[in-house]
A = this chain, B = another copy of it.
Amino acid sequence: MEKDGKCKLILISNDDGIDSLGIHTLVDYMVNYGEVVVVAPEQPQSAKSSSLTVETPLRARQLPDYHGAKMWRVNGTPVDCTKLAFSHILGRKPDIVVSGINHGSNAGINAIYSGTMGVVFEACINGIPSVGFSLLSHDANADFTECENVVRTVVDGVLANGLPKDVCLNVNIPAKCKVKGIKVTNAAEGVWVEDFEKTTDPHGREIFWLTGRYEVTHPDDSSSDIYWLDREYATVVPCTPDQTAKRAISALSSVFDNDFDV
């Protein structure tokens, strides 16, 4: 309970879908903080970024409560779920939005492709403190035990201190090790290489499957998330949904500012 007697309201979503172990784990960690409402995709939505459903209508269906949390599933993307929660399901502004726990890394540049982080950016755009959690294992039955201390430490910090304006958090957690601690870092610079496997379907037609590996540009950069994840630390990358490169405005003005002869 807060000082004013109102219980904290917590929205949880994800991109692996409402049936995933990661979101159930996160519910179990969050129910002690207040009233938990889950609004999550009915189908897996990995790599959906901040995409929206524009051509078809959404349907929201309430399911039985899970460990004290209200559960809603939506036939849309992670950001669809978040927007629908804010506008039609929650009834009031949540105190915090948490997303995940994602099955797989969202370190480096991968925040831009991540549906988990789509939820977090959407909450941030709406002025709500928000955190995405990802475990570095794609296993549907991954062991989330080591996540608990990280999630509680980060959520405690956010609820106690808030976050800077237009800033949200991308938290990644190493798998198959004892987590040594938490580091606040940059996203590791890098690029995906060998993006697709070229093969043929049973009818002999050429097809491409998304695959590839992430190649870090500066592997020894100790200010980057992947450096510390490799060393068994969880990482917190502060992120912003506004992608304006303010540092470039002055130089580019001298090139592009222009009055046409009209």
Interface, chain A (partner B; CB < 8 A): 44, 46-55, 57-60, 77, 79-80, 83-84, 86-88, 109, 111-113, 115, 118, 121, 125-127, 149, 153-154, 157, 161, 163-164, 166-167, 169, 178-187, 189, 191-192, 194-196, 198-199, 201, 205-210, 236-249, 251-253, 255-260, 262
A149 and B256 alpha carbons, distance in the complex (Å): 12
Are the CB atoms of A47 and B54 closer together than 8 Å?
yes
Are the CB atoms of B184 and A253 closer together than 8 Å?
yes
Are the CB atoms of A198 and B88 closer together than 8 Å?
yes
Cβ of A112: which chain B residues have Cβ within 8 Å of it? 50, 121, 125, 241, 243
Cβ of A241: which chain B residues have Cβ within 8 Å of it? 109, 112, 243
Are the CB atoms of A118 and B46 closer together than 8 Å?
no
Given A57-B208, A84-B196, A201-B57, is A249 in contact with B256 using a C-beta cutoff of 8 Å?
A: no
Cβ of A166: which chain B residues have Cβ within 8 Å of it? 245
Contact of A244 among B58, B180, B187, B251 (CB under 8 A): B187
A127 and B236 alpha carbons, distance in the complex (Å): 26
A interface SS class: mixed
**Copy number of this protein in the oligomer?**
2
Are the CB atoms of B46 and A209 closer together than 8 Å?
no
Given A87-B194, A113-B50, is A248 in contact with B205 using a C-beta cutoff of 8 Å?
A: no
In this complex, what residue of B is CB-closest to A181?
B259
Cβ of A84: which chain B residues have Cβ within 8 Å of it? 195-196, 208
In this complex, what residue of B is CB-closest to A224?
B244
Are the CB atoms of A180 and B58 closer together than 8 Å?
no
Are the CB atoms of B210 and A52 closer together than 8 Å?
yes
Are the CB atoms of A109 and B83 closer together than 8 Å?
no
Are the CB atoms of A164 and B208 closer together than 8 Å?
no
Given A83-B195, A239-B244, A243-B111, is A184 in contact with B53 using a C-beta cutoff of 8 Å?
A: no
Are the CB atoms of B54 and A210 closer together than 8 Å?
yes
A255 and B251 alpha carbons, distance in the complex (Å): 35
